[in-house]
Amino acid sequence: MPRLLSLTLAAFAIGISEFVLVGLLPAISADVHVDIATGGMLVTVYALAITLVSPLLTSRLSRYDSRLMLTGLMTLFAVGNLAVAVSPDLAGLMAGRVIAGAAHGTVFALGTPVAASLVPKERAGQAISLMFLGLTAAMVIGVPVGTAVGTAIGWRATFGLVAALGVLAAIAVRVMIPSTPGGQGVRLREQFALLTDRPLALTYGVTALGFGATFAVFTYLEPLLAEHAGYTPGAITWILVLFGAATVAGNLLGGRLTDRLGAVTVIRVALAGLVASLAALLLTQNHPVAVAVNIAAWGVFAFLISPAVQTHAVSLASVQGPGAEKAAGGLNIAAFNAGIAAASFTGGLALENGDPARTPWVAVAFAAVALLATAGIAARGTRRRTSSTALGPAA
């Protein structure tokens, strides 16, 4: 358990960096003299860095001791956030976000198999969910605190604190994670070969669309709540706490249900709930109490899917060896963030052409397509189960 918590801490720092922009976006945009839709590109470029750069880093670093590589990556992550804290303009902010994002994706690519290896195989889903708990804990603790710090003494202080957390996580990983011998590594062409595996490709598509759906709204949640529900900045901070608490519950529940019911079943339940809760935002967004309840339900379903899709991707690749597991896990993290990039960009377009009330329509479309795609995952995933060592029960 203590070893896993070092990975949780790393994910916690990463989660704050990724999600805290939601509460600070108006202040950052004003400081660098751009509108909110343009400022939202800081979310998009971060996600694109994970999607495009992380596979390259995974290819290079997976052949070395995971403990040393994770330590170095968390140090690089700290450097990226420090660059954000001191950059005077949008270009500098984007450069820092690219550095931090590249480290983010590779930490999860290398860290997910490490987390699974620290527990018995039948508890792998829970181990992965414990690592992902860092992301959800960031939403319930880190994002509201980071937003409060940014409001009180400036958003740059928030990213300075995130950089310090990155250094602390690097030290924890170096001390707590056991050394692993270097292997052959994962060549880039081997990663791309996994994309030709139809069960995996479908899983990545579901990951991108399903997880991305949340960010079509979440990236622009602050103006939505302010303009439609009448929330003040202080009240929005508490709504972020509520959403974060719901994501923690969803993440932990998703890990347990994945081990008990199978990943595909959990994915389908999560997406059905996500479609319903995002569609409900269209009805509740003008009602302060109703929208708060709605946001809590949305948070549960949004992160119920996380350990399930990660476990399923690693499970499908396990027949091809440990290197393939690392590659599959890394590509799934890339898929998460490709979805975030596409959905936040599309949500920004909707915001530019009208008010933030349009963003739930984008989210519902993403989630609905993902739900439809799970039919293919269920059929193919079940057949593949007979020839692979799964991390959880068959769906």
How confident is the model at residue 190, as a pLDDT?
Answer: 66
**Whole-number Å distance between alpha carbons of 253 and 150:** 32
172-199 per-position pLDDT tens digit = 999 988 887 665 566 666 667 777 778 7
* Contact status, residue 98 vs residue 46, Cβ threshold 8 Å: yes
The pTM assigned to this predicted structure is 0.72
205-258 per-position pLDDT tens digit = 999 999 889 988 888 888 888 888 888 877 887 888 888 889 888 888 888 888
Residue spans per domain, the chain: 2-385
Classify residue 19 as exposed, middle or buried by CB count within 10 Å of its CB (0-12, 13-18, 19+).
buried
Q: Which fold has domain 2-385?
A: Growth Hormone; Chain: A; (1.20.1250)
**Whole-number Å distance between alpha carbons of 111 and 370:** 26
Q: What percent of the chain has a predicted confidence (pLDDT) above 70?
A: 88
109-136 per-position pLDDT tens digit = 788 778 877 777 767 667 777 787 787 7
How confident is the model at residue 119, as a pLDDT?
Answer: 73
Residue 61 has pLDDT above 70, yes or no: yes
